[in-house]
Structure 1
Amino acid sequence: MDPMIRWGIRLAQWFRNPPSRQHVRIMVAVLAFCAALVLVERLIGWPEWATLGNHPPRVAR
């Protein structure tokens, strides 16, 4: 199914049965948190301690 059709169906469902205010607040808070993380990463950069090293994969014994 085309993604635009899928989004249209989802928007139609939300229009008919809107989410509660608390649900909307949670969604906005999560989006704001994600946007803040992206802004911090773009402006300051990714911290060295959070970067994975180039270690060889572990072998299960």
Structure 2
Amino acid sequence: MNYTWLLRMARWARRPPSMTQVKIVAVVALAVIAIVVIEKLGYWPDWASVNPRALRAPRP
């Protein structure tokens, strides 16, 4: 383990994040999971999807 990560974990143990920050991270994680599930079930609209482009050689 890197010494920097050990110091970061010690600092986080002394001053944990506020409940507001924990709630924000939880809401964002749930939103991402919901979007992935909706997309996998096929309910995601086509206009919200990114169309992959074919790889082209760069122009000179």
TM-score normalized by the length of structure 1: 0.56
Unmatched 5+ stretches in structure 1: 55-61
Listed as ranges, the matches of 1:14-53 within 5 Å are: 14-52=12-50
TM-score normalized by the length of structure 2: 0.57
Unmatched 5+ stretches in structure 2: 53-60
CA distance in structure 2 between the partners assigned to 1:50 and 1:44 by the alignment? 12
Aligned-pair identity in percent equals 38
CA distance 1:24–1:43, shift in 2 (3 Å): same
Q: CA RMSD in A?
A: 2.7
